[in-house]
Structure 1
Amino acid sequence: MHRTGRTRRTFVTGAAAAAGSAALPAGQAAAAPRGPRAGRTVAVLGGGVAGLTAAHELAERGFAVTVLEKKGLGGKARSMDVPDSARGGRRPLPGEHGFRFIPGFYRNLPDTLRRIPFPGNRNGCHDNLVASTEVMLARTGREDIRLPFSTLGTPPGPLSPDDLLRTVTGLLVTAANLPAHEVAYFANRVLVFFTSCDKRRLDDWERTSWWSFLRAARMSADYQQLLAIGITRNIVATKAEVASTRTVANCFEAFFFNMLGRTADGEPDRVLNAPTNEAWIDPWVAHLRSLGVRFEVGATVLDLPYADGRVTGAVVRDADGTRRTVTADHYVCAMPVEHARTVWGRALRAADPQLGRADRLETDWMTGIQFYLTEPTPVIHGHINHLDSPWSLTSVGQAQFWKGRNFPADYGDGQVRDCLSVDISEWSRPGILYGRTAKQCTREEVAREVWAQLKAALNDTGRTVLRDSALHSWFLDPAVDGIGTPEPRNDDQLLIHPTGTWFNRPTARTAVPNLFLAGDYVAVDIDLATMEGANAAARQAVNALLDASGSAAPRCTVTPLYRAPEFDALKRHDEFRYGLGLPNLFDLG
């Protein structure tokens, strides 16, 4: 193996760790770093949410951590400067891979946010979360549906099956105006899942698409758009026709009880009160540096050589093309799955077959574009699902949530007053302007097509919401490259969840004693490619590392999604029925 650059000796002496082996209580300042003991150096491969979470937990427990990141710290969660957009001493316009959505049913990520100090905030970066108050399903050529998040309120006590049916039915009758029999059927399917035992969820519903579970093919177009497609796009950002029912319904269940105020971290829909790096990533990196974490940005991991039953190093290429090997006692692979599996060589895969199964995991394109506007254009105080848009658009007006910022005074050239951030989820369907897919369009054509689809959804009810004259500029994630050519590329893709995906998701602990996996593709309770999933996977990876190293440090808390205790008895009954080969008690077929 070719070895250049840093040795293990330089890795150890160049890294520092926080004193002590115990995790620090929230809000407590770190002790001064000191040199690590033998066996306590860790190379974290990837600086996204998973990698930074792993570094955070390990540094608090006295490990010497170096994070290797190819692009920018924060990964897909980061915000980024729009090149050449700053004038007059202002900051560059903020761009991003996609807008942040941090629902109240997340339970692990919020804990990390509380432990990141932020000036003036008692609860650290967590206090930078602000709640939206509504969501809109924008219909093209039809009346839009606006839903306040206070619609359901908090029920007076435990829910019975009848209470659940009435709650779901009441919401849909009020908001969706669907045929009564379709509303009743959807409410029944919700009850079936909520009362299904874990065995049925895994063996049956993991292998059944959400589309099939809802019998969407037999229902009206509105049922399909609102309940099959709309729910998956808003809550889990995946495709109803192929997505596992277990994945979709697990998160729908948590979101539903979050709306009822059940054991939630906060409001159902929350965003940050500033661009992501300002509100979260930059303070996080600064805090990790204070704990002794070292960062090497521009280091691309090429290979994880394996010999004598262990990973022997991480071969990296620096931004200047230099190849070198970084060595440590332990390695946490926190890269996105499409990149991670390129560095798992044949010998490593032979040592742990679950690495090979990860090749079956699928990714797809979901990428953001931001439109900078010269007039405030909040539309609503929350997210918008452009339900009929061919490219499956979702959007949010951001400036309204950045209360501590004066957009024209702080960013750009002084003319921009708002940022409409849009996620494009469908890249392989023809648009309305050019009749081509997003992958077939140039970057400029993508921007014009998305703008046209936004206007078609928002300017169709007698008022002009988006004005061409207010469009200042736009920014498309630079990870998208080569579109409009025969070889379109996206370097930052999203893990998707077709039926059966769970069985190919690896665990954080591998059969290789010094290799651990952290990322939103790792098997965790939320079972969804999210920042919460990445955070939970990193916690599991750290716990596995602590076990392997014999550390006495406290293990990370990994909190599962909320599940209503009043349905436990029905789930036990369903487990009995499942063992007899019978359907769920409430399943009408």
Structure 2
Amino acid sequence: MQQRTPITPDPRTAPAPGTERGTDRSRRRFLAAAGTLGGSLAAAPLGTARAAGPPAPRRAAGRTVAVLGGGVSGLTAAHELAERGYRVTVYERNPTLGGKARSMDVPGTGGAGRRPLPGEHGFRFFPGFYRNLPDTLRRIPVPGSATGAHGNLVDATEVLFARDGGRPDLRLPFRTLLAAPSLELLLPDALLQTLTGLLDTSLHLPATEIAYFANRMLVHLTSCEERRLGQWEHIPWWEFVRADRMSYDYQRLLAIGLTRNLVATRAEVASTRTVARILQAFLYNVLGFGTDGEPDRVLNAPTSEAWIDPWTAQLSDLGVRFELGCEVQELTYSDGLVSGVRLADLDSGRIRTVTADHYLSAMPVEHARLTWGPALRAADPGLARCDRLQTDWMVGVQFYLRTRTPIVHGHVDYVDTPWALTSISQAQFWPGRDFRADYGDGTVAECLSVIVSQWDTPGVLYGRPALKCTREEVVREVWAQLKGSLNDTGRAVLRDDDVHSWFIDPAVTGLGGPAPANREQLLVQTVGSHDNRPPAATAVPNLFLAGDYTATDIDLATMEGANESARLAVNALLDADGSNRPRCTVWTLYRPPELELLQQQDAVRYRLGLPNALDFG
């Protein structure tokens, strides 16, 4: 789990292809022309509705609900149900709550009154276009914070695209551009000009490629929902943006990099609908529309300290019970209803069955679908579609360093790394924590949290994919790839003798052996996957589904998706129960009314078999 032996340096080489550019004057002239539609398009502004706020907490005794899974979706469901008077028990396999979002103590690392070093499955961030999860955060009391756990969010203001082989890194501001955004920015001409300008200023790609990518984004922005589901859902992002025809930098930055960072899947298989929806959400966030805050926010302490622990304390106060260390084996079914849940206590091995009036399954899809037996699947044949949903590895390595190493005030994307690395230096965002005084043995000053997104690509050190490496080899390989991007200009950003220790989530097992496994995988939005995502309500009247694999508006495996799915599941349960308690507020992604007319026109074209009016191939 943890290694204290210093990492020895290893040589690293990487290709550094260049791109040709024209003169600045001709480039500006070209982009100015590309960024205008000639005023031929218009959109009529329409109003938007706002939902009511959350209900006041209620402690009245009510019917019982078994929530299966103690991750973000399970805790959200428990929160909403307890506030509406239901008696809730959460059953969780892990010894701690929070799922993939939790932080974990690194065993044997605390001392002299200091906490153990904080480990995690991987870093997390809270974009400003999240609306459901921030609402929950505001409702979690935290001493000294008028806005609850939401007050523990802090802004990350930059992003760094780190390149290999001495190529210039791209360090960019990442924040909302306008304090008072103008609705005119959402008209097609203005959107295209804004997109073109942002890309040109930030990425320095060939002007023709910038113009093409901006046009592709506008095609999706003006597409009707029928086209998005019927056409773009079934086309890979790589194909939609014509990455195979473009430069190496275009492929790495706009095709591969965006899907890796924002959608956590591969451009070659990722649904265009999913990728483009998240990109447009970030675009509107940067322009100041439909936001809860800045585009990139992180917590001001380890996740469990800043969020999960206060949350579980609040839920306990609301009467929620937690049973940890118990694994759901099967939801038993009889007489048209779920009749119970068979559990295995991991410590004793004892098998038992628990019952409730309602059952809300909030486990990850790869675990949930194993608990649906033949009788239950026969009762709801739609459950079988979940077997087609795919998951993949996305897990991190935390490097504990002896020196504060704030590489950038935000996230780093190591664009050229074969293992698709991203990272964040966390100590800079924890102002209330003195790392040396609060954690470990008193010598650790930094936690550099790195995520490995591609576990099946050969590395630079051993020539093997991460799945074929031991834990120690994975760590050395990740460190070598980090240095290949950060130390390639001669400046020693990372030093081998600065590494104190490291941590990989114990959910990852068997590395270096014949059967590597990861119990905490991530759903990936492959082409067509939307069709296989189930609704919150099943055909079984007392069974409901939550989790980032279910059908949500955000349509992405994220904490926001998990939170939204739980709200939908609770609303479905309230409907089935005939409850008169208020329904959960559910926020959807921002939809500019200025584009609705174009989307309505596109719906007509789609039904006639015609392409989007701006789709020039």
Work out whether the TM-score is over 0.5: yes
Aligned match of 1:146: 171
Separation of aligned partners in 1, 2:534 and 2:89: 24
Contact 1:26/1:114, CA 8 A, preserved across alignment: no
Aligned match of 2:410: 382
Can you list the C-alpha shifts for 1:222-257, whole angstroms capped at 9, x where unaligned? 111110111111211111110000010111111110
The alignment status of 1:368 with 2:389, answered yes or no, reads: no
Output the aligned Cα RMSD.
1.4
| Correspondent of 2:155 among 131, 145, 152 | 131
Q: Report the 3-state secondary structure (helix = DSSP H, G, I; strand = E; otherwise coil) of the residue aligned with 1:286.
A: helix
Q: Report the 3-state secondary structure (helix = DSSP H, G, I; strand = E; otherwise coil) of the residue aligned with 2:432.
A: coil
The alignment status of 1:473 with 2:501, answered yes or no, reads: yes
Separation of aligned partners in 2, 1:340 and 1:512: 15
| Correspondent of 1:61 among 84, 89, 105 | 84
The alignment status of 1:181 with 2:208, answered yes or no, reads: yes
Can you list the C-alpha shifts for 1:248-275, whole angstroms capped at 9, x where unaligned? 0111111110011112000000000000
Contact 1:311/1:512, CA 8 A, preserved across alignment: yes
Aligned match of 1:396: 424
Separation of aligned partners in 2, 1:553 and 1:520: 25
TM-score normalised by L of structure 2 = 0.90
| Correspondent of 2:271 among 230, 237, 244 | 244
Aligned match of 1:278: 305
The alignment status of 1:321 with 2:349, answered yes or no, reads: yes
Q: Report the 3-state secondary structure (helix = DSSP H, G, I; strand = E; otherwise coil) of the residue aligned with 1:341.
A: helix
Amino acid at match of 1:229: I
Separation of aligned partners in 2, 1:244 and 1:27: 36
Separation of aligned partners in 1, 2:247 and 2:434: 46
Separation of aligned partners in 1, 2:351 and 2:297: 42
Deviation at 1:152, TM superposition (A): 4.2
| Correspondent of 1:458 among 467, 486, 494 | 486
The alignment status of 1:503 with 2:531, answered yes or no, reads: yes
State the identity as a percent. 66
The alignment status of 1:489 with 2:517, answered yes or no, reads: yes
Q: Report the 3-state secondary structure (helix = DSSP H, G, I; strand = E; otherwise coil) of the residue aligned with 1:342.
A: helix
Separation of aligned partners in 2, 1:406 and 1:24: 40
Contact 1:96/1:477, CA 8 A, preserved across alignment: yes
Aligned match of 1:433: 461
Deviation at 1:27, TM superposition (A): 10
Separation of aligned partners in 1, 2:274 and 2:417: 24
Separation of aligned partners in 2, 1:551 and 1:194: 39
Aligned match of 2:130: 106
Separation of aligned partners in 2, 1:414 and 1:215: 51
Q: Report the 3-state secondary structure (helix = DSSP H, G, I; strand = E; otherwise coil) of the residue aligned with 2:216.
A: helix
Contact 1:27/1:123, CA 8 A, preserved across alignment: no
Aligned match of 2:590: 562
Separation of aligned partners in 1, 2:119 and 2:182: 43
Q: Superposition pairs for residues 161-200 of structure 1, below 5 Å?
A: 161-200=188-227
Deviation at 1:53, TM superposition (A): 0.3
Contact 2:176/2:285, CA 8 A, preserved across alignment: no
The alignment status of 1:534 with 2:562, answered yes or no, reads: yes
Separation of aligned partners in 2, 1:521 and 1:440: 28
| Correspondent of 2:65 among 39, 42, 50 | 42
Separation of aligned partners in 1, 2:557 and 2:322: 25
Deviation at 1:24, TM superposition (A): 12
Separation of aligned partners in 1, 2:444 and 2:111: 11
Aligned match of 2:385: 357
Contact 1:27/1:114, CA 8 A, preserved across alignment: no
Separation of aligned partners in 1, 2:286 and 2:200: 17
The alignment status of 1:301 with 2:325, answered yes or no, reads: no
Separation of aligned partners in 1, 2:329 and 2:53: 37
Deviation at 1:461, TM superposition (A): 2.1
Separation of aligned partners in 2, 1:554 and 1:26: 8
Amino acid at match of 1:43: A
Contact 1:64/1:293, CA 8 A, preserved across alignment: yes
Aligned match of 1:407: 435
TM-score normalised by L of structure 1 = 0.94
| Correspondent of 2:107 among 83, 86, 89 | 83
Contact 2:176/2:295, CA 8 A, preserved across alignment: no
Q: Report the 3-state secondary structure (helix = DSSP H, G, I; strand = E; otherwise coil) of the residue aligned with 2:418.
A: coil
Amino acid at match of 1:65: V
Contact 1:546/1:553, CA 8 A, preserved across alignment: yes
- Runs of 4+ off more than 4 Å: 23-28
Contact 2:177/2:288, CA 8 A, preserved across alignment: no
Moved more, 148-157 or 414-423: 148-157
Aligned match of 1:157: 183
Separation of aligned partners in 1, 2:183 and 2:375: 56
Q: Report the 3-state secondary structure (helix = DSSP H, G, I; strand = E; otherwise coil) of the residue aligned with 2:329.
A: strand
Deviation at 1:151, TM superposition (A): 7.7
Separation of aligned partners in 2, 1:362 and 1:568: 33
Separation of aligned partners in 2, 1:58 and 1:27: 11
Q: Report the 3-state secondary structure (helix = DSSP H, G, I; strand = E; otherwise coil) of the residue aligned with 2:370.
A: coil
Contact 2:536/2:551, CA 8 A, preserved across alignment: yes
Aligned match of 1:13: none
Gaps of 5+ in 2: 1-50
Separation of aligned partners in 2, 1:83 and 1:406: 20
Change (3 A) 1:176 1:555: same
Contact 1:129/1:273, CA 8 A, preserved across alignment: yes
